[in-house]
Amino acid sequence: MRTLKYAILGMIHQKPMTGYDLMQEFESTLNEFWSANHSQIYPELKKLTKEGSITYILQQSDKGPDSKLYSLTEAGEKDFLEWLNDDEDIIKTPKDPFRLRVFFSKSMNEEDRLDLFMDHRLKHRKRLKHLQKQLKKFTHVPIKEEEVFGDYLVLMSAIMREESTIAWIEKCIELLKE
Amino acid sequence: MRTLKYAILGMIHQKPMTGYDLMQEFESTLNEFWSANHSQIYPELKKLTKEGSITYILQQSDKGPDSKLYSLTEAGEKDFLEWLNDDEDIIKTPKDPFRLRVFFSKSMNEEDRLDLFMDHRLKHRKRLKHLQKQLKKFTHVPIKEEEVFGDYLVLMSAIMREESTIAWIEKCIELLKE
DNA sequence: TTTGACATGTAAAGCGTTACATGATTGT
DNA sequence: ACAATCATGTAACGCTTTACATGTCAAA
């Protein structure tokens, strides 16, 4: 499916970027639903250049070594815009070792079993708090014409997923305490 | 992390199984949160045998070729029970091409953008219906002492996640229609 | 002087999917 | 005869993570 390719094309479509810029975007903004290390980004940029989707100009940096500023070619932009409209299937349920443990948890003693859920709830509450902090950066709910509308929607998705996960864990705890 | 290893040990811990049995379990019961093809299962069984976690006896089948019935060794059981109590971090948010598209969706025209969400909602509604059908197989909410308690909890998790996803998509559609 | 941010790359190992490969038995 | 189910295996490819590797510049 080469989704990393489109993640990169999409980012560069917003504005020209270096590999390092992409790395930082993957760490911050996109992190909740896509990520990649620099060891994956640089080879992919090389490949996309060879395939003619992107080109770069060398930049002398005042601080640090030279960098390559990438932008989309016409072919690259066309490819990206077509991908946006592709009719793709929804993803398979992602693999989750925690749910696997829950599935097998009848082999644990009662106390450990309850702790498993309590620990897990704490971790998800922390992640939720972190996401809610990011939400506060929005002074208002963006309207669909704004640049940050997409950012808002995916942040909402991450928050709602965490809330739902916590609700599930609490249901489990309730059933365990009966 | 070798989670496949523990998925297999956990299944065999419930009762001795062949590779083919495991394959079927992965396709049915566990499918909502773990899966593996036979091409991954058979080599892993070989590896686990070599490592001393499992052993097998040959079975002549009345129908079809011979099969290997695997069971846990003492070391394998110990390993599995320890894994159950491991303090593991929650998984990173799984990668999701749909959310990536949503993030970039300001580059789409309004109609296509709305269609993207409507199509996606339909697909998730279908999956939810399928899960709810599985829920109907439970005549009652199992208590924590029952064998199927774990099955019930992970099914609930899948259902609640689908409901939350659909709720998010509906929020998106609302904001797009404003 | 040493830590951290900037900046880019390669290599190796692990995990997962798709495809290749074989062969028996049962039901239509 | 043909398809489906049972039953096991290997090979090739692709994606991701972790580790290896190098080098500059600014600030503490």
Does B96 sit within 8 Å of A33, measured CB to CB? yes
- Determine the angle formed by the axes of helices B74-84 and B3-14, rounding to 10 degrees: 110
Q: Minimal Cα–Cα distance from B82 to chain A, Å?
A: 10
Q: What is the mean pLDDT of residues B157-169?
A: 98
* pLDDT value at residue B61: 76
Residue B172 in this model has a pLDDT that exceeds 80: yes
Residue of chain B with shortest Cα separation from A3:
B97
* pLDDT value at residue A65: 81
Helices (DSSP H) in A33-148: which residue ranges? Answer: 38-51, 74-84, 97-103, 110-135
B62: nt with nearest C1' to CA: C25
Does residue A92 reach within 7 angstroms of strand C, measured from its CB? yes
The rounded distance, in Å, linking the Cα atoms of B124 and A161 is 14
Q: At which residue do the structure tokens 């696997």 appear?
A: A100
* pLDDT value at residue B178: 84
Mean pLDDT (chain B) is 96
Element spanning A159, H or E: helix A149-177
The rounded distance, in Å, linking the Cα atoms of B91 and B23 is 24
Query: From start to end of chain B, where are the E strands?
Result: 54-59, 67-72
* pLDDT value at residue A61: 77
* pLDDT value at residue A60: 87
* pLDDT value at residue A151: 96
Q: What is the mean pLDDT of residues B60-74?
A: 88
* pLDDT value at residue B65: 79
* pLDDT value at residue A64: 75
Name which residue leads in pLDDT, B111 or B178: B111
A:90-109 residues touching chain B, CB 8 A cutoff: 90-108
Distance of CA A52 to the CA centre of its chain: 26
**Hey, which residues does B56 pair with through a beta bridge?**
B70
The protein residue nearest C23 (Cα–C1') is: B65
Q: What is the mean pLDDT of each run of 10 residues along chain A (178 residues)?
A: 98 98 96 96 98 96 85 98 96 96 97 98 97 96 96 97 98 96
Option in B103, B144, B154 nearest A175 (CB): B144
Q: What is the pLDDT of residues B3-57, one digit of tens each?
A: 999 999 999 999 999 999 999 999 999 999 999 999 999 999 999 999 999 999 9
Closest CA to A23 of A42, A5, A50, A47: A42
A:10-69 residues touching chain B, CB 8 A cutoff: 10, 13, 30-35
